[in-house]
Structure 1
């Protein structure tokens, strides 16, 4: 059966907002949580990309009670969206042309483990809404990526999707959903198993078409 849709991860696949997020998180910590003496680096952000909020909280603030760690993480993520709506992130080179071309032949979607509002920051700031038919995130459902891929496919009546992502978690999510996976090797993570890969978003056109 021919593929009937393409589902993307966001961070490390379509854009890199790690520098902007690190700056926003540090500003929020200094302003609202001055007793938390922690400097979050861009590498820290890249290391937690793709995690759900609870996992981010446990990773960034391992010495705090989980309730406080979650409260801080929820706050810095809320402020992050305000920040990103103003400045956006860094799109991978050639992204819009790739999306424009693919959207002529396939419906495009995004599934991410992010909070509500984050995907909208990406779409609205960079004016990419017209290329995507829909999206789903863990902030909307409380579910992890594999379940959300399945839920999105059911919602839109998709039968033969491919998921494109850059981390082991993305690969495992695609396996859980029972769909094809393509590794965005230019992103943040690594994959333990041998899987098909691309070295730039531009290579996606040759792989798909």
Structure 2
């Protein structure tokens, strides 16, 4: 089976580090009264960056929103690069390593360009991930990016693992099954196949 992962709320939780970086960006750029906290970001992660900007910086004009989100992303990349704390959910690296022995692994996220690469570097999982795609690279929806990645790699079947209703919708749009990471940030109806730990993917794929 080919397995495609979301990142935030599925493989790691970077909201504490990212919230501090974004709050600094708000102070640097101004033009908004937004208060950026980990709790706020957990409600936004999984959406594309332009939607997040509209949600968080409602009173800002389009030019200021663009400046804000660009500074947020810049500060975020720098903060995550410097961070030495382990942001992975327990068992993530070991699970990815084990899964890679029998399955091809991929990542599709609504993040900015460079974020997946940074995740792979910080988590030391580059060798296990066959390919990845993001909103920042293509400007396309998550469902479209899943299909793009599948077509690029000749995948006839796959499963998408994520933590939000948006992830579920993206999998449906791409025509593949979805597994709900119930330990993450989102809230998906209980009729969805779910896992309560990333480690449970190992049993699910047997």
Q: Into which bin does the TM-score normalised by the smaller protein fall?
A: over 0.9
Q: Does 2:184 correspond to 1:204?
A: no
Deviations 1:34-76 (A, max 9, x none): 4544331111111110111110111111111123212211221
Query: What TM-score, normalized to structure 1?
Result: 0.94
Of 151, 172, 176, the residue aligned with 1:175 is 172
Instruction: Tell me the secondary structure at the aligned position of residue 16 of structure 1.
Output: coil
Deviation at 1:29, TM superposition (A): 2.2
Q: Distance in 1 between matches of 2:30 and 2:149?
A: 40
Q: Does 2:171 correspond to 1:164?
A: no
CA contact (8 A) 1:86 1:125 kept: no
Instruction: Tell me the secondary structure at the aligned position of residue 108 of structure 1.
Output: strand
Q: Which aligned segments of 4 or more residues in structure 1 are displaced greater than 4 angstroms?
A: none
Instruction: Tell me the secondary structure at the aligned position of residue 199 of structure 2.
Output: helix
CA contact (8 A) 1:108 1:133 kept: yes
Distance 1:70 1:193, change over 3 A: farther
Deviation at 1:10, TM superposition (A): 0.5
**How many residues get paired?**
205
Q: Distance in 2 between matches of 1:156 and 1:94?
A: 27
CA contact (8 A) 1:57 1:69 kept: yes
Q: Distance in 2 between matches of 1:198 and 1:126?
A: 21
Corresponding position of 1:33: 29
CA contact (8 A) 2:19 2:36 kept: yes
Of 146, 150, 162, the residue aligned with 1:149 is 146
For structure 2, the residue ranges without an aligned partner over 5 or more in a row are: none
Query: What TM-score, normalized to structure 2?
Result: 0.95
Q: Distance in 2 between matches of 1:72 and 1:106?
A: 39
Q: Distance in 2 between matches of 1:170 and 1:112?
A: 9
Corresponding position of 1:190: 187
Of 62, 80, 84, the residue aligned with 1:66 is 62
